[in-house]
Structure 1
Amino acid sequence: MIYLDYAATTPMSEDAISMYVKAAKDAFGNSSSLHDIGGFASQTLDASRKLIASLIGGTYKGLFFTGSGSEANTLAIQSLLNGVDSSKKHIITTQIEHSSIFNYFKKLAKEGYDVTFLKPDKHGYIEKEQVDKALRADTCLVSIQHGNSELGIIQPLAEIGKLLKTKHVLFHSDCVQTFGKVPVNVDTLGLDAVSISSHKIHGPKGIGAAYVQPSVYWQPVIEGTTHESGFRPGTVDVPAVAAFAVAAKKITDSMSEQHHHFKELRKSLIQHLEPISSRITILNNDEHTILSNIFPVCVSDIEGQYIMLECNRYGFAISTGSACQVGMQEPSRSLLAIGYDEHKAKQYIRVSFGVETSESQILAFAETLIKTVNIFHQRDWRG
């Protein structure tokens, strides 16, 4: 099967697997134990922490390992909120956040917070002026994802970050989709907190990280927690952390090369799909910054789930949106937010590239999609 769903997850790289096995054998101790075996695990953990922190322009004191990107999101947000003035109850976010953040803010809204969900423009873009207009005297936190996994849009975090610094409002971003694809630097983007994940960059699943600027005051979600400086309870998975660090270093070192590769694949796919160009709508374009590895498309009059299943039958793995939403039988919240109705939103499919994706695979996929669309419309015409 040809895999074209890298935005959902990536296969572990050989380097990450090798490191995981080595660390599982040599650094199996509990990193909190005081004996030498625990000490070696602690040293491995610290080295990995320093490496990953450096890749986002941070310091090791601000990086905390979590069980996933989703957990990093909720822990970072709640830890920040625990540290702010309790009289400040206003939060700003967007309608197109990852479900882990969107649902958490819905929960906080029921618990007394006033949450503003900004609506993006027709491309999925959030303007700095929207954030500025929404700010209030009691705004304590703004959380805006860096890159949307369904639309592929990258938000202007640096502009928003500069604004929020002048207003002394905390700024968090879910960078799970962008880390390793585009530069993520906490200072350049003006961020107080960041969430990232391993399995999106060819590392193992079940490990993520949250970064909180050491200058920012926060309080633990669970009082009395000792692991990860009180940020998250539970023994740290040192082998997974070490593999995460190796994967992070490798992908950031080749970021420019991969970006070029993805741009060429995207250009090629658009060309190959020309025979059905009147039947498809590419959701993002060159008018705004995009993640070049994500190719979101709506196929006129055909539900995305049908396209996905047909492609699977022919040996191609694509998706109909965020893997965290699969099985809900609901149209994408991101597409609804940019103005699509439920019928049109259900016609969405997402193709996402990886470093292993080749030109020949793109050609083969395009031929399959064209055949699927043409056969469907022939059947539809015949009744």
Structure 2
Amino acid sequence: MKRVYLDYNATAPLRPEAREAMIAAMDICGNPSSVHAEGRAAKALIERSRAVVAEAVGCKPQEVIFTSGATEAARVLANRPKGCDVFVQDTAHDALWSHLDLSNASDRPHGPGHTLAMGLANSETGVVTLPPEKVENQWPYGARRADWLLLDITQAVGRLPFSFAWSEADMAIMSAHKIGGPKGVGALILRQGVDIEPLAPGGGQEMGRRSGTENVIGIAGFAAAIQAASRELSDGTWERVEKLRNILEERLVESAKETIFVGKKERRLPNTSCFITPGWKGETQVMAMDLAGFAISAGSACSSGKVRASRVLTAMGFDEVEAASAIRVSLGPQTSEEEIMRFADTWLKQRERHRARTA
């Protein structure tokens, strides 16, 4: 039987539009930094793509800096001014969490500026957290106030309405492969007027913010993917996906009364269901479902291979056993109701086998 892919939050299948754009870009041989006709053609493609990405996320083209992905874009935190403290949302992705200044004791005098880094939508649970307003005197996650706000919009782009211009963020990071673009390309959105050290010093590409010859082919695929994702956002595609997600949860809760659906009462991404069956390890579930023909996840793909309870779930108040017993099912526009029901039936059978073995 055909395998069912339910791990869109890890990566989305490459869109036909992105594939076509990348194939076309392969015929452009020039280096975008070259001044001859071939180089100008490559540069023009990058600038058209920059404008497309800017329109999709609600920013100015000159605020888009192409990178190898969101993780590289997050290095803007490492390049912060000396003495500038970084405060990170407790459920943020490791790409942000790794830049947390663990020396930020509450009684320590703070440096000249603060950066608050947070995710707009969590990759593991789908829970949406709106950024605080800068006029507030008390910021979350330990910051008394912040001069800069960085948003990880990787999971939100193309699935939730978002405008960088309206968000009050100073920086945002994203990856193309989450929206059906190629892997290895993404962007840092940097509000005009905010000055940073280069992510990579060198030849001065990307307006001096990220040196190195641009990934022309990947950037072309990125632009095509985000354009297609924007159309889906406006044509009701994700409302249909959300209905399928709800059908799945309703089917499971009928028989698995002990299963906890994380963030069910909160605003979530329309495609994401994270659920905990206490005592049944998430990794065991992932392997069993993989053998049965279903691709799912036990957490963030960037933490794969690490046998540990989810830091995100423990931060949300779940104990170690519960946090280690979670799986994530993330749907996409191509997911069908038949696939959802087949997954539910198979998972429930696997659950009964687990219960029988541990009885």
Query: Counterpart of 2:67?
Result: 66
Paired residues of 2:7 and 2:296 also in contact (CA < 8 A): yes
Name structure 1 gaps, 5 residues minimum.
117-133
Q: 1 CA distance for matches of 2:128 and 2:117?
A: 14
Most deviating of 51-60 and 316-325? 51-60
CA distance 1:272–1:143, shift in 2 (3 Å): same
Paired residues of 1:12 and 1:204 also in contact (CA < 8 A): yes
Matched, 1:114 2:104: yes
Matches within 5 A, 1:214-233: 214-233=192-211
CA displacement, residues 269-309 of structure 1 (integer Å, 9 cap, x when unaligned): 022113323131100113x2211111000013211111111
CA-CA distance at 1:376 after TM superposition: 1.2
Query: Counterpart of 1:213?
Result: 191
Could you say what secondary structure the match of 2:227 adopts?
helix
Q: 2 CA distance for matches of 1:179 and 1:162?
A: 25
Query: Counterpart of 1:250?
Result: 228
Paired residues of 2:49 and 2:223 also in contact (CA < 8 A): yes
Query: Counterpart of 1:362?
Result: 340
Q: 1 CA distance for matches of 2:109 and 2:230?
A: 34
Could you say what secondary structure the match of 2:77 adopts?
helix
Matched, 1:262 2:234: no
Matches within 5 A, 1:251-290: 251-256=229-234, 257-286=236-265, 288-290=266-268
Query: Counterpart of 1:77?
Result: 77
CA distance 1:236–1:5, shift in 2 (3 Å): same
CA distance 1:356–1:222, shift in 2 (3 Å): closer
Give 2:116's match in structure 1, choosing from 132, 142, 148.
Answer: 142
Q: 1 CA distance for matches of 2:134 and 2:325?
A: 35
Superposed CA RMSD in Å reads 2.2
Give 1:93's match in structure 2, choosing from 88, 97, 117.
Answer: 88
Paired residues of 2:67 and 2:187 also in contact (CA < 8 A): yes
Q: 2 CA distance for matches of 1:363 and 1:28?
A: 48
Question: Which aligned segments of 4 or more residues in structure 1 are displaced greater than 6 angstroms?
Answer: 134-137
Paired residues of 1:92 and 1:115 also in contact (CA < 8 A): no
CA displacement, residues 4-61 of structure 1 (integer Å, 9 cap, x when unaligned): 0000001111111011000111x23110011110000000000000110121111111
Matches within 5 A, 1:1-383: 1-25=3-27, 27-74=28-75, 76-79=76-79, 81-82=80-81, 86=82, 88-105=83-100, 108-109=101-102, 114=104, 138-157=112-131, 159-161=132-134, 163=136, 169-256=147-234, 257-286=236-265, 288-381=266-359
Q: 2 CA distance for matches of 1:318 and 1:281?
A: 17
CA displacement, residues 301-348 of structure 1 (integer Å, 9 cap, x when unaligned): 211111111111110010100011111101111011111222221100
Could you say what secondary structure the match of 1:160 adopts?
coil
Q: 1 CA distance for matches of 2:21 and 2:118?
A: 33
The two structures have a TM-score, normalised by structure 2, of 0.92
Amino acid at match of 2:257: S
CA distance 1:13–1:295, shift in 2 (3 Å): same
Paired residues of 1:204 and 1:243 also in contact (CA < 8 A): yes
Paired residues of 1:91 and 1:115 also in contact (CA < 8 A): no
Could you say what secondary structure the match of 1:229 adopts?
coil
CA distance 1:345–1:195, shift in 2 (3 Å): same
Could you say what secondary structure the match of 1:144 adopts?
strand
Q: 2 CA distance for matches of 1:93 and 1:139?
A: 14
Amino acid at match of 2:150: H
Identity of counterpart residues, as a percentage?
A: 28
Most deviating of 195-204 and 167-176? 167-176
Amino acid at match of 1:3: Y
Could you say what secondary structure the match of 2:274 adopts?
strand
Amino acid at match of 1:374: E
CA displacement, residues 81-124 of structure 1 (integer Å, 9 cap, x when unaligned): 24xxx4x432221221111111122xx54xxx6388xxxxxxxx
Q: 2 CA distance for matches of 1:209 and 1:282?
A: 32
Paired residues of 2:115 and 2:147 also in contact (CA < 8 A): yes
Name structure 2 gaps, 5 residues minimum.
140-144
Paired residues of 1:198 and 1:204 also in contact (CA < 8 A): yes
Paired residues of 2:202 and 2:212 also in contact (CA < 8 A): no
Q: 1 CA distance for matches of 2:287 and 2:105?
A: 38
Paired residues of 1:28 and 1:239 also in contact (CA < 8 A): no
Amino acid at match of 2:315: A
Could you say what secondary structure the match of 2:329 adopts?
strand
Could you say what secondary structure the match of 1:289 adopts?
coil
Amino acid at match of 2:336: S
CA-CA distance at 1:224 after TM superposition: 4.5
